C-alpha cells in the first residue's frame, strides 16, 4: 500500500487504517474460507500463492479523516482517494484495473475522472496503478454541474451548503481554464472533474491527473473572501500541466513506498502559486487593484519571515518530507515557504525574461516550451540543469547565476531592483522607531500564552520561550492587548516581563527592539521610460 500520495509530500502511513487483510481462492465475498495475511513490513502483505493462478483478497479500511488527501465516509457521502484505499500487487503496477462501487442506500451520484465500463457509472476502469491512485471518487447525493471550456468537458461536483453563486463560479472557471490553456498551448484532458467540499473550517486542495479535490469554507464565497477560493481552484487546475505532466525527473516513476526527494518544489509549487492569482487577474476574475494588493502581501510575507536567512528554496523543497507539514513553534525562525517565496522568485524571473527580451517574451514561453517537451518526451522529466538551460534559451541570458543566487543561497531577493525595471517603486510604509517584542500569543483559559517568537527581536534574545504564560509587564498585569503597557517606550528601553514556565514564576528583563517588519506598497513611477512602460504593459496588460 502507498504510504504517501502525489502532491502531498509527507509519509502519512495510510496503512494504519487497515483493520485486516485476508485471502482465499473462493470467489465469494461471504465465504468463511479466508486466511489472514501476514505483513512483512509496515505497508506490505505477503501471500504464498500455492500454485494458484487467481486469488481473492479482502480487507477493511477505516474512513474518517476529513481532508483532501484521505478517505471520509458518513451517511451523507463518501470521498475515496486512491492512495489510502487500494492495495496493489507488486510487479503489476502497469496492469489495468476495474473498480466496482456498491453505493450506500439512497446514494444516486458518483463523480470521478475514471472511465465508465459499458456505460455503467458504478463500474470504472483505470489504465494502471498511477491512474487509480490519482483519481479520487466522490459518491453520494452531491450536486453536479457540467460545462465545456477549452474544448474539454468539465464537471463541478459540489458537496455541502454554501453561499456560492454557482453561475458566477462556472463563468469564472471558464475564463480561468481558457487562460491557462492558452499559456500552455494545449489541454491534456478529455474531461475534468472539480470536486468541492464546502466545509465548516478546512481549506485547501490537491491536484490530480484529470481532477482535483478542494475544501472551501462554506461561507467564503462572498466578495471579501472569494479571491482565496477561486485562486485555489486556479492553482490546482494549473497543476494539470505543471507537476502532473511537467514533472521532476526525480518523481518518474513514483515510488509509493518511500519519500521521493527533489529540490524543485519551489518551481512546481512556487511557479503555480505565482500563476494562480496572476491568472485570475488575466482572466478578468480579479481586479488590478486587488491583484496588486495580493502581490504586495506576498512580498511582505516573504520578506518578514525570520527564516529567510536560514533555509534556501532548494533545501525547503528537499526537506518538505520532514518540515513543511510538521511546523512547530520554531519553524518561522528556521524555514521558508517554497510556495510563497517560490512565487516571488518566479515573478522576478518573469521580469528578468521580459527585461532581457524587451517585452517580447515572458515566463509563459518557458511554460509553453516545457509542455511541448513533455508531449514529445512524456517520461523524461525536468532537472534543474534542463530548467536553467530553458530559462537561458528563452531569455537569451545566462540564468545559472540567478538559479544559484535565489535557489541555492539565502541572498536578499532584490525585489526593489526588479520592480523598478517595470517602473514600479516599492515604498516601505511601515512606522519608524516603533517597538516590537517579536512574539505571537494565544489566549488559553484566560491566560496569555506565547505561541512563537521571532529570533530577530528582544523577547527571543531576552530569554522568553514558547509556552510561557505572560503574567505582568513592568508590574502591571497583562490582558490580551498587552502592548499598551509599553507602547510609550522607545527602542532599547528595558521592560520587565513576569512569566510562568511549567508552573515556576520567573522574571526576564527584555530590551525593546525596533519593529523591522516591512510593509512595501506599489508606487507607479510618473515619468517611466519607454522600456519600463513596455514591460509594465507586458505584465499587467
pLDDT tens digits in sequence order for the chain, 541 residues long = 999 999 999 999 999 999 999 999 877 767 778 999 999 999 999 998 878 888 999 999 999 999 999 999 999 999 999 999 999 999 999 999 999 999 999 999 999 999 999 999 999 999 999 999 999 999 999 999 999 999 999 999 999 999 999 999 999 999 999 999 999 999 999 999 999 999 999 999 999 999 999 999 999 999 999 999 999 999 999 999 999 999 999 999 999 999 999 999 999 999 999 999 999 999 999 999 999 999 999 999 999 999 999 999 999 999 999 999 999 999 999 999 999 999 999 999 999 999 999 999 999 999 999 999 999 999 999 999 999 999 999 999 999 999 999 999 999 999 999 999 999 999 999 888 799 999 999 999 999 999 999 999 999 999 999 999 999 999 999 987 888 899 899 999 999 999 999 999 999 999 999 999 999 999 999 999 999 999 999 999 9
pLDDT per residue as tens digits for the range 228-284? 999 999 999 999 999 999 999 999 999 999 999 999 999 999 999 999 999 999 999
- The contacts found for 246-252 with CB under 8 angstroms, 24 or more apart, are 246/367, 246/370, 246/371, 246/373, 246/374, 246/382, 247/381, 247/382, 248/381, 248/382, 248/383, 249/380, 249/381, 249/382, 249/383, 250/381, 251/6, 251/381, 252/379, 252/380, 252/381
388/401 Cα distance (integer angstroms): 10
Tell me, what's the pLDDT at 36?
A: 94
> Considering the entire predicted model, what is its pTM?
0.96
302/332 Cα distance (integer angstroms): 11
Tell me, what's the pLDDT at 318?
A: 98
The DSSP letter of residue 68 is: S
- The contacts found for 354-362 with CB under 8 angstroms, 24 or more apart, are 354/421, 354/422, 354/535, 354/538, 354/539, 355/421, 355/535, 356/395, 356/396, 356/397, 357/394, 357/395, 357/396, 358/531, 358/534, 359/531, 359/534, 359/535, 359/537, 359/538, 361/394, 361/395, 362/538, 362/539
236/69 Cα distance (integer angstroms): 13
Cβ–Cβ under 8 Å, residues 352 and 397 = yes
pLDDT per residue as tens digits for the range 346-373? 999 999 999 999 999 999 999 999 999 9
Query: At the top level of CATH, which class does the domain 435-514 belong to?
Result: mainly beta
What is the residue extent of each domain of the chain? 14-224, 249-423, 435-514
Tell me, what's the pLDDT at 29?
A: 62
Per the listing, cell 520532514 goes with 322
CATH T-level assignment (fold) for domain 249-423:
Neutral Protease; domain 2 (1.10.390)
Tell me, what's the pLDDT at 33?
A: 86
- Of the options 3.30.565.10, 3.30.390.50, 2.40.50.140, 2.60.40.3650, the CATH number for the domain spanning 14-224: 2.60.40.3650
For residue 39 the three cell numbers come to 505483513
What is each CA distance from 68 to 34, 80, 251, 501, in whole angstroms?
A: 33, 10, 21, 38
Cβ–Cβ under 8 Å, residues 13 and 3 = yes
Amino acid at each position: 500500500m502507498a504510504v504517501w500520495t502525489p502532491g502531498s509530500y509527507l509519509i502519512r502511513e495510510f496503512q494504519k487504517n487497515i483493520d485486516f487483510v485476508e485471502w482465499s481462492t473462493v470467489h465469494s465475498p461471504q465465504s468463511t474460507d479466508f486466511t489472514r495475511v501476514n505483513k512483512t513490513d509496515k505497508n506490505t502483505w505477503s501471500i504464498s500463492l500455492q500454485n494458484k493462478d487467481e486469488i481473492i483478497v479482502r480487507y477493511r479500511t477505516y474512513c474518517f479523516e476529513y481532508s483532501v488527501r484521505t478517505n471520509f465516509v458518513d451517511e451523507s457521502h463518501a470521498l475515496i482517494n486512491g492512495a489510502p484505499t487500494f492495495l496493489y500487487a507488486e510487479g503489476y503496477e502497469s496492469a489495468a484495473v476495474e473498480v466496482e462501487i456498491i453505493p450506500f442506500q439512497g446514494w444516486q451520484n458518483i463523480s470521478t475522472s475514471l472511465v465508465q465500463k459499458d456505460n455503467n457509472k458504478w463500474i470504472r476502469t483505470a489504465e494502471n496503478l498511477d491512474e487509480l491512485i490519482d483519481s479520487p471518487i466522490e459518491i453520494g447525493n452531491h450536486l453536479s454541474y457540467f460545462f465545456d471550456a477549452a474544448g474539454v468537458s468539465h464537471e463541478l461536483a459540489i458537496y455541502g451548503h454554501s453561499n456560492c453563486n454557482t453561475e458566477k463560479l462556472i463563468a469564472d472557471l471558464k475564463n480561468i481554464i481558457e487562460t491557462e490553456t492558452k499559456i500552455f498551448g494545449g489541454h491534456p484532458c478529455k474531461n475534468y472533474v472539480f470536486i468541492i467540499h464546502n466545509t465548516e473550517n478546512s481549506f485547501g486542495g490537491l491536484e490530480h491527473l484529470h481532477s482535483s479535490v478542494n475544501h472551501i469554507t462554506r461561507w467564503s464565497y462572498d466578495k471579501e473572501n472569494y479571491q482565496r477560493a477561486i485562486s485555489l481552484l486556479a492553482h490546482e487546475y494549473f497543476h494539470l500541466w505543471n507537476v502532473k505532466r511537467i514533472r521532476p525527473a526525480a518523481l518518474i516513476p513514483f515510488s509509493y513506498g518511500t519519500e521521493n526527494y527533489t529540490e524543485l518544489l519551489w518551481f512546481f509549487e512556487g511557479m503555480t502559486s505565482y500563476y494562480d492569482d496572476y491568472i485570475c487577474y488575466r482572466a478578468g476574475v480579479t481586479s488590478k487593484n486587488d491583484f496588486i494588493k495580493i502581490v504586495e502581501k506576498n512580498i511582505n510575507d516573504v520578506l518578514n519571515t525570520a527564516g529567510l536567512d536560514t533555509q534556501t528554496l532548494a533545501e525547503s523543497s528537499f526537506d518538505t518530507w520532514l518540515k513543511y507539514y510538521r511546523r512547530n513553534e520554531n519553524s518561522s525562525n528556521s524555514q521558508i515557504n517554497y510556495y510563497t517565496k517560490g512565487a516571488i522568485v518566479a515573478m522576478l524571473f518573469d521580469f528578468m525574461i521580459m527585461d532581457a527580451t524587451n517585452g517580447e517574451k515572458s515566463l509563459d514561453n518557458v511554460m509553453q516550451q516545457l509542455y511541448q517537451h513533455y508531449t514529445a518526451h512524456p517520461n523524461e522529466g525536468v532537472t534543474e540543469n534542463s530548467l536553467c538551460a530553458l530559462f537561458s534559451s528563452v531569455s537569451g541570458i545566462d540564468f545559472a547565476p540567478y538559479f544559484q543566487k535565489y535557489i541555492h543561497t539565502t541572498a536578499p531577493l532584490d525585489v526593489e531592483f526588479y520592480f523598478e525595471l517595470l517602473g514600479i517603486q516599492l515604498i516601505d510604509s511601515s512606522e519608524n522607531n516603533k517597538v516590537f517584542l517579536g512574539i505571537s500569543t494565544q489566549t488559553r483559559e484566560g491566560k496569555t500564552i506565547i505561541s512563537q517568537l521571532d529570533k530577530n527581536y528582544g523577547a527571543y534574545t531576552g530569554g522568553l520561550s514558547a509556552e510561557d504564560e505572560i503574567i505582568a509587564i513592568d508590574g502591571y498585569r497583562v490582558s490580551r492587548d498587552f502592548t499598551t503597557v509599553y507602547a510609550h517606550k522607545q527602542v532599547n528601553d528595558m521592560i520587565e516581563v513576569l512569566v510562568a514556565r511549567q508552573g515556576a514564576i520567573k522574571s526576564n528583563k527584555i530590551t525593546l527592539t525596533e519593529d523591522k517588519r516591512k510593509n512595501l506598497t506599489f508606487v507607479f513611477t510618473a515619468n517611466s521610460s519607454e522600456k519600463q512602460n513596455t514591460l509594465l504593459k507586458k505584465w499587467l496588460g
